[in-house]
Amino acid sequence: MQLTEQQIERYSRHIILQDVGGKGQLKLNRAKVLLIGAGGLGSPAALYLAAAGIGTIGLVDGDVVDLSNLQRQILHSTATIGQPKVESGRKTLNAINPDISIKTYHQLVDADNILPLIKEYDVVLDGSDNFTTRFLVNDACFFAGKTLISASMFRFEGQLTTIKPHAGYPCYRCLYPEPPPAGLVPNCQEAGVLGVLAGTMGILQASEAIKEILGIGETIADKLVIYDALEMKFRKVGRPKDPSCPLCGPNPKIKDLTLDYTVSCTI
């Protein structure tokens, strides 16, 4: 595979970067990235991944565009209210870059459909809005050996980490062994979220995904990044591997996706 003249021009600002170059751009053009959720985090991430020339972008989301989404979900517009988010997203991404392939899955991920889905991709971005999905995506990526870039947000605060236990790093369960019981913490709909925070966190996810694909820079797989928009502070804390982790530890209790993942769906 060679870059065409048009591609060389489109991606020229990447290609002249020493750490990317033509070879790096080809890696991006060949990469397949799956976005779980085409909402607050998935929107900005998808826009930049498409612009960067990620060859195949998969969008999974079971929702349709709602007026209350548009305060932060910049993949969608007033004109696409009522349409499936994945279809609305496909149009936006194709307009930015017709050079790439967008695959859409208008469905929720569950224990039955997630493994065949993520098998087709190199990197997965979790931009889902509930703990049930986050634990399921973590476990599925572990079994499939896929790198997962996880971000989440609450009001004015965001968290970000890269999860790749197949490379010796901790998984999501090493960080948070269990989800909170339902009802203990309000979800975004009840608690609110600063719209632009979704942009900050989603774009950081895209940045880490591109770094992982190119194999450049420092991975954050052993760190948790915490961003506080009000204080304008980024902090990084250590994220060690848990030797008693029920998923990626030496004596795993979780050996497949047959757990009851629906125990909690609020944060």
Partner 1 sequence: MIKVRIPTPLRPLTKGQGEVEAQAGSIASMIETLDQAHPGLKDRLCDETGELRRFVNIYVNEEDIRFLKGKETSLNDGDEVSIVPAIAGG
* Closest distance of CB 17 from partner 1, Å: 30
Selected from 25, 29, 69, 130, the binder of partner 1 by CB under 8 A is 130
Residue 95 vs 232, nearer CB to partner 1: 232
Write phi, then psi, for 93 (nearest 5 degrees). Answer: -70, -40
CA angle at 85 for the pair 196 and 183, rounded to the nearest 5°: 65
As given in the structure block, the two tokens for residue 250 are 């030496």
CB-side exposure of 133: number of CA atoms within 13 Å?
22
Q: Which stretch binds partner 1 (CB under 8 A): 7-15, 52-60, 115-123, 151-159?
A: 151-159
Residue 11 vs 121, nearer CB to partner 1: 121
Q: Does 228 bind partner 1 (CB under 8 A)?
A: yes
Q: Does 179 bind partner 1 (CB under 8 A)?
A: yes
Selected from 27, 134, 146, 164, the binder of partner 1 by CB under 8 A is 134
Q: Does 39 bind partner 1 (CB under 8 A)?
A: yes
Residue 189: CB atoms within 10 A of its CB come to 10
Residue 9 vs 228, nearer CB to partner 1: 228
Q: Which stretch binds partner 1 (CB under 8 A): 5-13, 78-86, 128-136, 214-222?
A: 128-136
Selected from 91, 157, 182, 259, the binder of partner 1 by CB under 8 A is 157
Q: Does 183 bind partner 1 (CB under 8 A)?
A: no
Instruction: With beta carbons less than 8 A apart as the criterion, state whether 159 and 152 touch.
Output: yes
Q: Which stretch binds partner 1 (CB under 8 A): 22-30, 46-54, 86-94, 130-138?
A: 130-138
Selected from 63, 99, 222, 242, the binder of partner 1 by CB under 8 A is 242
Q: Does 139 bind partner 1 (CB under 8 A)?
A: no
Q: Does 65 bind partner 1 (CB under 8 A)?
A: no
* Closest distance of CB 187 from partner 1, Å: 7
Can you give the chain as a three-state secondary structure string?
CCCCHHHHHHCHHHHCCCCCHHHHHHHHHHCEEEEECCCCCHHHHHHHHHHCCCCEEEEECCCECCHHHCCCCCCCCHHHCCCEHHHHHHHHHHHHCCCCEEEEECCCCCCCCHHHHHHCCCEEEECCCCHHHHHHHHHHHHHHCCEEEEEEEEECEEEEEEECHHHCCCCHHHHCCCCCCCCCCCCHHHHCECHHHHHHHHHHHHHHHHHHHHCCCCCCCCEEEEEECCCCEEEEEECCCCCCCCCCCCCCCCCCCCCCHHHCCCC
Instruction: With beta carbons less than 8 A apart as the criterion, state whether 56 and 100 touch.
Output: yes
Residues in the interface with partner 1 (CB under 8 A) total: 45
Contact characters 186-205, partner 1, x per CB under 8 A: xxx--x-x------------
Q: Which stretch binds partner 1 (CB under 8 A): 101-109, 140-148, 178-186, 248-256?
A: 178-186
- Contact residues: partner 1, CB under 8 A: 37, 39-42, 126-131, 134, 151-157, 159, 175-180, 185-188, 191, 193, 224, 226, 228, 230-231, 235-240, 242, 267
